Amino acid sequence: MAFRLQRLPSVRPEIAVAAHAVAIGLAFVVGGIAVTISGHNAFTLAAKVLTASFGSEFGLEDFGLLFGPLMLTGLAAAVTLRIGLWNIGAEGQFYIGAVFATGVGLFFSGPPWLMLTAMFLAGGIGGALWILVPTLARAYANVNEIITTLLLNFVAVLVVNYLSTGLWRDRKQSVLGATARIPYEVPNLSGSLHAGILVAVAAVVLMALLIRYTRWGYEVRISGANIFAAHYAGIPVRSRLISVMLISGAIAGIAGMLEVAGTVHRLQGGISNNFGYLGIIVAVLAGGSPIGVVFSGFVMAVILNAGIILQAQGILLNDVLAMTGLILFFTAIGEQVAHYRIVATHVVAQEA
């Protein structure tokens, strides 16, 4: 009797979830070994991270402030995965959403609820506009959206730098170009934790319901699973593709609006905190599932929050970033491994 590997065309959900869990676990083991080799006690540090993140008000607030934007940018990347596309540009859409929201907040005035609603819409519109050209290029000219969305990230950073150090600059800050403080702020839930996290949860639930239970969602899933079958079934694939990408951009833009109106309060370079890029990891870990984004966003927020706690213990930032890379690496392997199963083969003796 011998064994061989058999590749399966699709993976059962429970196997996929298990593969991700094992991958994350293995990444922590490798990270732990590296930390131990560098002369720290991995268990003490892990305990420190957990107590500092979840055992204090500050820690919980910090965790929440990471969790919210990660869910949103993760969701932005996840929805495009459902139709088989990659939005690598959540970073840029995040920035442009922040730009639009800042523009509304600085140059218009009104009652706070109205202004925050206007900023929210402006953020969504800004994000959607930033992905519009890649979307149309993909839909009508079949231009690879990975490249176009990625490259627009760099343009978005330049737009933010131009505005925050030029046109919209506040002349009182000294070290960095930044706009004046936006007078409208997302209300706080507790301490510094603002209501943006509720928006993120609502967005995740809404997208999950749309994709699972509506005709639109069904057509998106079919288009993502097999584009030819979708065409054959008469699904307007192009129109679904356009709507999914614009929604993705809008979600990332709203994340930018919430960051600027809830956390930073000024438009300046660097506010994205790489949430756009981290969102891709979150979406991949979630396997493109909106609800999965809640879990993978949670893991990512713990890791990022741990990064700051560990730096105070003398561990370098790069080591923490390496950890996120390890997780993605193991997940990619795990995803492939989950496609295989071991089958026993009976060797039939050849007759002479």
Partner 1 sequence: MFDLKNPSRRKFLTMAGTAAGASLLGNTGLVVPSAYGAGALGAVKEEDAVIAFGHVGPISDEGWTSTHHDGLVAVKAAFPKAKYLEIETIPYSADATRTFRQFVAENATLIFSSSEYGDLLAEVSNRAPKVAFMECNGHRVADNFSWYYVKHWMPTYVIGVAAGLMSKTGKLGYVASFPVPSVFTSVNAFQMGAKSVNPKATTQVISINSWFDPQGASQAGTALLDNGADFLFGIMDEAAYLQVAEKRGIPAAMWNTDVRRYGPKSYVTSCVVDWRKFYVEQTRKRLAGTWTGNEQILLPLGEGVDRDAWGESVPENVRQTADAVRTKMLKDGFNPFAGEIKDSAGKVKIAAGEKMDDMALYNWNWAVEGVTGLAT
Stretch that binds partner 1, among 31-39, 172-180, 277-285, 326-334 (CB under 8 A): 172-180
**Cβ contacts of 117 within 8 Å, gap of 6 or more:** none
Closest distance of CB 105 from partner 1, Å: 11
Q: Which stretches of the chain are DSSP H helices?
A: 13-37, 42-54, 57-82, 90-107, 112-141, 145-162, 196-213, 215-225, 227-232, 237-258, 275-285, 290-312, 317-337
Closest to partner 1 by CB, 161 vs 243, is 161
Stretch that binds partner 1, among 38-46, 134-142, 235-243, 256-264 (CB under 8 A): 256-264
Q: Of 2, 175, 344, 352, which one interacts with partner 1 (CB under 8 A)? A: 175
- Interface with partner 1, residue 311, by CB under 8 A: yes
Binding range to partner 1, per CB under 8 A, among 12-20, 135-143, 180-188, 294-302: 180-188
Write down the least CB distance from residue 129 to partner 1, Å: 23
Residue type, 268: Q
Q: Which is nearer to partner 1, 32 or 269 (CB)?
A: 269
In this chain, which of 312, 342, 348, 352 binds partner 1, going by CB under 8 A?
Answer: 312
The encoded tokens of residue 319 equal 């080591």
SS3 at position 47: helix
Q: Which is nearer to partner 1, 223 or 305 (CB)?
A: 305
Q: Select from 267, 345, 262 the least CA-distant residue to 107.
A: 267
Contacting partner 1 (CB under 8 A), which of 132, 269, 319, 337?
269
**Cβ closest to partner 1, residue 10 vs residue 174:** 174
Whole-number Å distance between alpha carbons of 345 and 340: 15
Q: Does the protein bind partner 1 through residue 243 (CB under 8 A)?
A: no
Nearest CA among 259, 278, 279 for reference residue 268:
259
340: contact with partner 1 by CB under 8 A: no
Q: Which two tokens stand for residue 111?
A: 């009652």
Q: What per-residue string of b and e applies to 310-332 under the rule 16 or more CB within 10 Å gives b?
A: beeeebeeeebebbbebbeebbe
- Looking at residue 109, its amino acid is S
Minimum distance from residue 111 beta carbon to partner 1 (Å): 13
If one asks whether residue 263 binds partner 1 (CB under 8 A), the answer comes out as: yes
Report the half-sphere exposure of 208 (CA within 13 A, side-chain side): 16
Stretch that binds partner 1, among 23-31, 33-41, 247-255, 261-269 (CB under 8 A): 261-269
For the bound state, the minimum distance from the C-beta of residue 38 to partner 1, rounded and expressed in Å, comes to 17
Compute the chain's Rg from CA coordinates.
22
Residues 6+ apart with CB under 8 A from 24: 285, 299, 327, 330, 331
Residue of 73, 153, 268, 289 that binds partner 1 (CB under 8 A): 268
φ, ψ dihedrals at 6, nearest 5°: -120, 130
Q: Which of residues 94-113 bind partner 1 (CB under 8 A)?
A: 112
Q: Which string of x and - marks every residue 117-156 that binds partner 1 (by CB under 8 A)? A: ----------------------------------------
Q: Using the rule CB under 8 A, which residue among 13, 25, 187, 236 binds partner 1?
A: 187
- Residue 192 interacts with partner 1 (CB under 8 A): yes or no: yes
DSSP summary character for residue 346: P
340-345 and 193-194 beta bridge pairing:
unpaired
Q: Which of 103, 177, 276, 279 binds partner 1 (CB under 8 A)?
A: 177
* Cβ proximity of 254 and 237 under 8 Å: no
The residue ranges that bind partner 1 (CB under 8 A) are 52, 56, 58-59, 62, 65-66, 112, 161, 165-166, 169, 171-178, 181, 183, 185, 187-188, 191-192, 259, 263-266, 268-273, 305, 308-309, 311-312, 314, 317
